[in-house]
């Protein structure tokens, strides 16, 4: 497509491809939307690409193109939640919505020429008795991640649901092959989470991560209680917490906030970890993954470390147990509450270490 002066017209889609983000993210940055959580580095990368390509917001195009209307835009103008808009445009009759609200939303959709995405139309079909679990490839790792997947699968099975794994690729777009009735997300970046929210009109529950949005249900570990229990177990005032890196920045920030005067060591490689242990032999260590504890066992006295376990793992020495089965049960309860629009139910569950 050419602009009137004969130069090539740069599209938002092209900028999104070069930046490795969704078109919605580019649109939010160009429009300077501050109500959407986007990393500062991502904003700067997008604006740099816009400048390099000579993109001009609002330049005349043939034919003229309009900013894509989103479900958030409709909800904001109608004064209702995005879930209410989703239920209305997808023809959900099992949810009680006033006729006046329904007409108002449909009128705004018609005025703004809004239609659900192909994914949304797919999700409006028959019940599938499936729940998606969205976790990035190469994201969370170790016993913690797999224990959580097993716990969620078992909890869903007990309620008559099957589960399907979904993934976010490098372009932050959700790849959906099935028709899930709801989605659990694990260790997503903020950008990936908001892309999921934008593209999927089904209930979403954040599990073992945090989403800075009061509308969403969340189930996560109480880091403050975990660190306090570790200090009591090791009879010390400070600890070094050893864990795999988190991709979800708010969750990592919550862990850091719980460590008052303590040390957080994020494992990039076992060699780096062993080097740190050799240089700090007197510290008290808390290992967030049994495999990390096993790898470092020859370098430490059993009395100076404890291991966080999530299921039936057998480890030597002191342990702190987090019942991922309990967290999974609460997550499924939350998902069902979201489906039934039970807004009075608690939106947050914090998992503390088991007491013995």
DSSP 3-state of 319: strand
- Residue 239 pLDDT class (50, 70, 90 cuts): very high
Q: What is the pLDDT of residue 175?
A: 53
Number of separate domains in the chain: 4
| HSE-up of residue 203 (Cα within 13 Å, Cβ side) | 22
Q: Is residue 121 part of a domain?
A: no
Q: Are 247 and 136 in contact (CB under 8 A)?
A: yes
My answer on whether 191 and 339 are in the same domain is yes
For residue 211, pLDDT over 90 is answered with no
Separation CA 236–CA 238 (nearest Å):
6
For residue 74, pLDDT over 50 is answered with yes
> 347 to each of 171, 191, 219, 331, how far by Cα in Å?
29, 21, 8, 10
- DSSP letters spanning 117-162: -HHHHHHTSS---EEEEE--TT-S-HHHHHHHHHHHHHHHHHTT-E
Q: What is the mean pLDDT of residues 242-248?
A: 90
Percent over 90 (pLDDT), the chain:
28
Average pLDDT, the chain: 81
The enclosing H or E element of 265 equals strand 263-266
Tokens 């991560």 belong to which residue? 209
For the ranges 197-201, 210-214, 286-290, the maximum mean pLDDT occurs at 286-290
Domain boundary among 36, 51, 67: 67
Q: What is the CATH number of the domain that holds 102?
A: 1.10.260.40
Separation CA 258–CA 264 (nearest Å):
10
Comparison of pLDDT for 244 and 13, the residue scoring more: 244
Structural domain containing residue 157: 128-219+326-349
Beta bridge partners, 164, equal: 132
Q: What is the CATH number of the domain that holds 250?
A: 3.40.50.2300
My answer on whether 240 and 314 are in the same domain is yes
- Residue 313 pLDDT class (50, 70, 90 cuts): low
My answer on whether 332 and 208 are in the same domain is yes
My answer on whether 315 and 331 are in the same domain is no
């Amino acid at each position: 497509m050419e602009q009137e002066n004969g130069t090539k017209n740069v599209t938002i889609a092209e900028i999104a491809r070069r930046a490795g983000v969704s078109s919605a993210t580019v649109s939010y940055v160009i429009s300077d939307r501050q109500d959407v959580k986007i990393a500062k580095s991502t904003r700067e990368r997008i604006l740099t690409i816009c400048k390099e390509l000579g993109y001009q917001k609002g330049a005349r195009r043939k034919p003229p193109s309009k900013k894509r209307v989103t479900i958030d835009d409709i909800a904001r103008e109608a004064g209702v939640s995005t879930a209410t808009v989703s239920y209305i445009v997808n023809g959900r009759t099992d949810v009680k919505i006033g006729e006046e609200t329904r007409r108002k939303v449909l009128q705004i959709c018609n005025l703004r020429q809004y239609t659900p995405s192909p994914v949304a139309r797919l999700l409006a079909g028959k019940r599938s008795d499936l729940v998606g679990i969205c976790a990035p490839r190469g994201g969370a790792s170790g016993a913690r991640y797999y224990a959580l997947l097993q716990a969620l699968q078992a909890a869903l099975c007990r309620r008559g649901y099957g589960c399907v794994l979904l993934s976010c690729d490098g372009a932050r777009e959700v790849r959906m092959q099935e028709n899930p009735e709801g989605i659990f997300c694990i260790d997503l970046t903020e950008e990936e989470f908001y892309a999921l929210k934008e593209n999927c009109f089904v209930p979403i529950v954040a599990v073992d991560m945090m989403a800075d949005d009061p509308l969403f249900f969340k189930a996560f570990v109480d880091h403050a209680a975990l660190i306090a229990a570790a200090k009591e177990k090791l009879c010390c005032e400070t600890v070094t917490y050893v864990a795999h890196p988190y991709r979800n920045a708010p969750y990592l920030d919550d862990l850091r906030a719980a460590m008052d005067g303590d040390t957080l060591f994020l494992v990039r490689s076992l060699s780096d970890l062993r080097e740190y242990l050799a240089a700090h032999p007197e510290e008290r260590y808390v290992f967030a993954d049994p495999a990390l504890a096993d790898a470092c066992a020859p370098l430490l006295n059993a009395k100076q470390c404890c291991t966080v376990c999530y299921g039936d793992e057998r480890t030597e020495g002191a342990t702190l147990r987090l019942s991922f089965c309990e967290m999974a049960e609460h997550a499924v309860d939350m998902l069902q509450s979201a489906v039934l629009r039970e807004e009075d139910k608690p939106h947050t569950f914090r998992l503390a270490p088991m007491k013995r």
